[in-house]
Structure 1
Amino acid sequence: MKRIRFLGDRGDGSYSKRRQVKRACDACRSAKRKCHHDHLDQPDLTSDGSPHLERNVPKVPATTENSSEDQEGRRSINHQLQESVCLSTSSLPCSPTSIAPFSGPSSAHSLLLSAFTSTNMIPAGLETGLSRGLPRSRLLRPSFQDLKAPSSERRPGVAPGYLPFLVRAILPYLEIECLQMLPPQEDLDILMQVFKQEIHPILPIVDFSMQALSGPIDRENPATVILRQAICLAVCKNVSAGPHLKLPESETGQLSFQKPREFADKLFGALKIALDIGLVDDRLELIQVLALTTFHSYGPDGDDEIARLCGQAVHYAYSSGLHYPWRPGDHISEVRRIELLYSLFALDKIIAMVTGRPAILRENEVYLPAQGDTMLKELSPGLRLLFRLSQMLNQVLDLYRPRAPGETSGEECAWEASWPEFEDLAAQYDLQTMRASTQTCLELLYYAICALSYRPSQPPTGLNYIPGVILSPASQTSKIRHHYCAQRISFLLTLETTMLPFVPYAVSLSLTVALRNLQQTTLESTKILARGDVERNLRVLAELTETYWHAESAGTIGRQLFQNLS
């Protein structure tokens, strides 16, 4: 009978003639089956005494000295294995620079630091300024940050090797697949130029002077690719971008033309995976990418996703300290900080309008310059007017916030006495200096807000509407403006306009007003006019179907309602 020595046994005798095997774990011993579980302190040894490593992982020679040296060798092997996995999954370093996240003045961190009378008493190496780097363990899904997280930033219960080997093997291929989803260079340059002409004057989300965009594409720096993908996603719905929507096929790698929705779907999927696996680890870059991804809603649950992405962008803006004024040592200027906050504020209100969700960013929670501040003159006229319209929209949305049933018994209107005219706003903010498509886009948003400013307390839900309800003079004025704005929206959509996320919503809003007029009117002439408005809005929605999912959804519902009323 052969004598067997288990690994880990210690003794003074010679075991050169004994067969060495791995001791089974308690579960396998009780079940009387062969054990294949690995132990961190006891690597699986082959017949020659060398450690048995996983496939595609560099083999590290084992030490064959005495027992104490054998234990040190095993620790060295495990450490080198972890380093080899980390180096094989990303080109970024394994030990990131630790930066303390931003903390407000009421936090325990700030209160403790405020106890020091001078900066000389603050411990060396403690970063107290705005934080740009993200914590490596911020994601709940498997990511490169999980593989590289130091012990001080690791989530509770997460060990260095908790990710399955299959996940560690797939992550590098996901990175390659995501970074390849980009138009060819000549089309990419044109799309970037269209973005600068159409969207950037209204929403200067992107800082083209930062290193990720001022330099060439570098695959070792994923942000240089991901920011360009986000820009293409935001601009692809504009008419001038149509001939340049080319992407490589995932199966063959050959370039092919895409329709705007297909182009946006592919880029959105690549961006979503890139964000989930943590390829962007700079807060300011991440804010820009998240804000641009909110330009595309892909389907029934798309509104839920863009609302979440907008919330993440606002969250990282807060965690970067952008809601506080500029301080010496900050990474961005005060003008750039205001541009980002104005853009996020406008996107937050537009998404709240389109999706019917509560707004997230509150104006009284951030520091913004006063209206007469000379610094505001450095902003583009389109951004300043968009922020003014967003403030109007924020007040109009009060009509649609939750209330008790008894509080909405009468007709409710907004700003009956001081509703500004768009011509006055355009003259105040020098809108005539901008492109015609930009002017049309902002005017379209203005009339959408005007149409929303009238909300009947009990809108008709069927065909049993009884006319003759007497409205107050203020409500009657608001209702007339409501009808006029809906017709104005239909006219503006015949002109060239910058395509932003609220465009299909404005058409569906005009369609809603036309259907309500068709249902409630008693005069034949008014019915003919309302029927023409409905048909015109349905044609516009049909034309936008290849560009927006919202247009397809609103058009389908609108045609069904129109058939019931005809």
Structure 2
Amino acid sequence: MLAKNVAVGKSDASIRVRRFTVIRLLLDHLVSTPNLATADTQPVSPIIQNGKEHAESHSLAFYGDLNPEAILMEATSLCSRRDVSAPGGLGIWQAPIAPRPSTQSSSVPSVQSSSRRAVQDMVRSYLWNHCLPCRAPPSDYAVLKRIYFEKMNPIFPIFEDPSVSSVPDEPIDILVQQVVSLAAAADPEATQHLRVSPNGPLMSRQEFCACLSNSVLATLDAGLVTDRVWLIRLSAALSLYTQPTNAEEADIPALLNSRAVHHAHTLGVQMAVDDGHPKKHMIQTIFCCVWALDRITGAFYGRARLMHERDVGWDFDECIRAQAPPFRLLLMIINLLDKVIGLYCPGTRPSQPVLVELPIFEQMILDAEALRMTSSCLASLEIFYHSVAILSTQSPADVASSALPQPATNSRRSLAADRITSIVGEEFAGQVSYMPFIPYAVSLSLSVSYRKMRHSKVPMFRNRGKQAFRKNIQLLKSMDDMFWKSKTMVAMAEQVLNEMDKAVASLAQENGLPDLSKKVEPVPQGERPEVQPEETRALEFAQNATEAGNEWMLFDAVPDLDLFGHFDPTFDLGAVDAALVGNFDFGTSTNWFDWHHQWG
């Protein structure tokens, strides 16, 4: 029954988000500073502190020198200190001023206080009864946790393993369990552990992930968590691992990324701290996670970057060197991605072909000291590396759809796309870390094969592109119950293949050739009717061509045939071109939901 109550569909998800938005607005209207945390669970941000952590300590706030308050605070407060990110500093760290005691008598009844308590009780009751219970039982969570910390957290260490069970059954610990389960659910090994109640029924990935995503998002929106360090961790992790389910949720991952960046800027995570700071490594790791996520969001969702090097006080090379080898290797790839994104910024379309130089991936592994990484994690990062390689070439707009692309562009894209398809579908099938950049990479590989199939003038290359196109469709189809983009790309690509089969059947009939769109069943040798040898060879010829998926018979008969020019006029081929070829351009990623609406 619990699984039935907490499993929510698309409409329930939208209603829940709107419901908590209304509740949040009501809270803001009733009190200027609502606080849903009780006194005994009030979190203390441990990020920027002088001295020891204790229950009464407050996190410091950063005030830049452009803020007039900084001058007065530095001159009048003994608790302020200058930052160390640059000679002379860029501002000060200041402990917040304690609020003055209220002059209002505690015996005077307050209408606002009673209203506030009533709303708080309603929100807390809903969260504890409907949102926080939505989590995997201990036996299943143990498996999901192992998957996450073996395959995902080493690559993107937004959580520290001991912190997951530091305070059991507290809201933050429950939220971490939910996000960890959400991330691990994409792995094939997790299929038998997608439950939200002991001995409850198994759920589909979509149901399980929708339940967890909506629960975490509702809890964060309600303000139950006030510790900004945990708000950064949870917002960043949810941004990376949640998957929208409808057009209204399309911007949620980007919104969560902006929240993580906002809280990071509020705490001054982007500013360097003293070498002797007890939390320096943790601060560096959180900063690197948010910085990397901001670049990933820019690539996946066509968003502007929110963190800029000119605002950062850290030495990037120092921050990267301080990380564990798997995360260090990811950051090195993200650094390459950051350079590639610059090719796609508005107004930067080149007049001449541009090729961003990339180091050899093997050398990057050595530089990151990542030789001891598991092969599956290395393969996952290699997939991401090849995604960046596909995007690292930019051609002028007038030749973007040319049949003969630039030599460097063609060779780099083709090799990278083949490696992505091979790693995901053959070499490490079912073993990679199923993070969001896996379907993103396969989608790019699909676009490369589509371009070859669509524009090549040589039948052999066109057929080769079609075979790669089919393989990538099957890979995306195996992930479409977890990743929204996979579902969208599969729906569109399958309709393209259907139209191709229709066109081939029609043209084969017009040219007097066997209909290659139909499967020719083999006939046992002893049961074959008496036919002329020529007829036998024709049947075998058609059967072999059909099994191989080749249209080369048709192209041999009409070598300059444009198969796409014979599609049904009602089929919107221009939209397919814009979607699949435009997949190389970050800005079109925001149209995934429009594509899904059109292609079903």
Distance change (3 Å), C-alpha of 1:182 and 1:503: same
Distance across 1 between alignment mates of 2:396 and 2:226: 47
CA deviations on 1:504-530 (whole Å, 9 max, x unpaired) are: 111111111111111110111101110
Distance change (3 Å), C-alpha of 1:327 and 1:378: closer
Q: Does 1:177 align with 2:157?
A: no
- Give the drift of 1:539: 0.6
- 1:180-259 alignment, distance < 5 Å: 180-210=133-163, 213-218=164-169, 221-248=170-197, 255-259=200-204
Q: Does 1:299 align with 2:258?
A: no
- Give the drift of 1:298: 2.2
Q: Does 1:104 align with 2:63?
A: yes
Distance across 1 between alignment mates of 2:276 and 2:306: 28
CA deviations on 1:344-365 (whole Å, 9 max, x unpaired) are: 1221111211111112122332
Distance change (3 Å), C-alpha of 1:565 and 1:366: farther
Distance across 1 between alignment mates of 2:471 and 2:393: 22
- Give the drift of 1:190: 2.3
CA deviations on 1:379-409 (whole Å, 9 max, x unpaired) are: 2111111111111111111122111xxx636
- Between Structure 1 and Structure 2, how many residues are aligned? 433
Q: Does 1:353 align with 2:299?
A: yes
- 1:267-286 alignment, distance < 5 Å: 267-286=212-231
Distance change (3 Å), C-alpha of 1:551 and 1:359: same
1:419 is paired with a residue whose SS is: coil
1:104 is paired with a residue whose SS is: strand
Is the contact between residue 61 and residue 96 of structure 2 (CA under 8 Å) also seen in structure 1?
no
- Which amino acid letter does the alignment assign opposite residue 437 of structure 1? S
Q: Does 1:326 align with 2:270?
A: no
Distance across 1 between alignment mates of 2:193 and 2:379: 24
- Which amino acid letter does the alignment assign opposite residue 492 of structure 1? I
CA deviations on 1:518-560 (whole Å, 9 max, x unpaired) are: 1110111101110100000111111111221211011112223
Q: Does 1:335 align with 2:284?
A: no
1:247 is paired with a residue whose SS is: coil
Distance across 2 between alignment mates of 1:356 and 1:528: 32
Is the contact between residue 326 and residue 333 of structure 1 (CA under 8 Å) also seen in structure 2?
no
Q: Which residue of 1 aligns with 2:308?
A: 362
Q: Which residue of 2 aligns with 1:423?
A: 362
Greater Rg by CA: 1
Distance change (3 Å), C-alpha of 1:377 and 1:180: same
Is the contact between residue 90 and residue 172 of structure 1 (CA under 8 Å) also seen in structure 2?
no
Is the contact between residue 437 and residue 498 of structure 1 (CA under 8 Å) also seen in structure 2?
yes
1:352 is paired with a residue whose SS is: helix
- Give the drift of 1:477: 1.1
CA deviations on 1:297-319 (whole Å, 9 max, x unpaired) are: 12244441000001101111111
1:298 is paired with a residue whose SS is: coil
Q: Which residue of 2 aligns with 1:382?
A: 326
Alignment equivalent of 2:462, drawn from 527, 548, 552? 527
Distance across 2 between alignment mates of 1:319 and 1:117: 20
- Give the drift of 1:116: 3.9
- Give the drift of 1:476: 2.0
TM-score (norm 1): 0.69
Distance across 2 between alignment mates of 1:400 and 1:197: 34
Backbone CA RMSD of aligned residues: 3.6
2:244 is paired with a residue whose SS is: coil
Distance across 2 between alignment mates of 1:485 and 1:528: 19
Q: Which residue of 2 aligns with 1:482?
A: 413
Is the contact between residue 101 and residue 320 of structure 1 (CA under 8 Å) also seen in structure 2?
yes
Q: Which residue of 1 aligns with 2:353?
A: 412
- Which amino acid letter does the alignment assign opposite residue 240 of structure 1? E
- Which amino acid letter does the alignment assign opposite residue 429 of structure 1? A
Distance across 2 between alignment mates of 1:288 and 1:261: 23
Give 5+ residue unaligned stretches, structure 1: 1-81, 122-127, 136-148, 152-157
Is the contact between residue 259 and residue 547 of structure 1 (CA under 8 Å) also seen in structure 2?
no
| % identity of equivalent residues | 22
Is the contact between residue 144 and residue 184 of structure 2 (CA under 8 Å) also seen in structure 1?
yes
CA deviations on 1:179-230 (whole Å, 9 max, x unpaired) are: 21111112212222222111121111012344xx343523xx3112112212
TM-score (norm 2): 0.65
2:338 is paired with a residue whose SS is: helix
Distance change (3 Å), C-alpha of 1:104 and 1:328: farther
2:161 is paired with a residue whose SS is: coil
Is the contact between residue 399 and residue 412 of structure 1 (CA under 8 Å) also seen in structure 2?
no
Q: Which residue of 2 aligns with 1:63?
A: none
Is the contact between residue 132 and residue 282 of structure 1 (CA under 8 Å) also seen in structure 2?
no
- 1:302-313 alignment, distance < 5 Å: 302-313=249-260
Q: Which residue of 1 aligns with 2:290?
A: 344
Distance across 2 between alignment mates of 1:320 and 1:498: 31
Is the contact between residue 123 and residue 222 of structure 2 (CA under 8 Å) also seen in structure 1?
no
Is the contact between residue 412 and residue 456 of structure 1 (CA under 8 Å) also seen in structure 2?
yes
CA deviations on 1:275-323 (whole Å, 9 max, x unpaired) are: 1111111111111111111112122444410000011011111111211
- Which amino acid letter does the alignment assign opposite residue 286 of structure 2? L
Distance across 2 between alignment mates of 1:497 and 1:174: 35
Distance change (3 Å), C-alpha of 1:500 and 1:150: farther
Distance across 1 between alignment mates of 2:78 and 2:386: 55
Is the contact between residue 451 and residue 482 of structure 1 (CA under 8 Å) also seen in structure 2?
yes
Distance across 2 between alignment mates of 1:354 and 1:524: 33
- Give the drift of 1:163: 5.9
Bigger helix share: 2
Distance change (3 Å), C-alpha of 1:94 and 1:395: closer
2:251 is paired with a residue whose SS is: helix
Q: Which residue of 2 aligns with 1:61?
A: none
Distance change (3 Å), C-alpha of 1:367 and 1:527: same
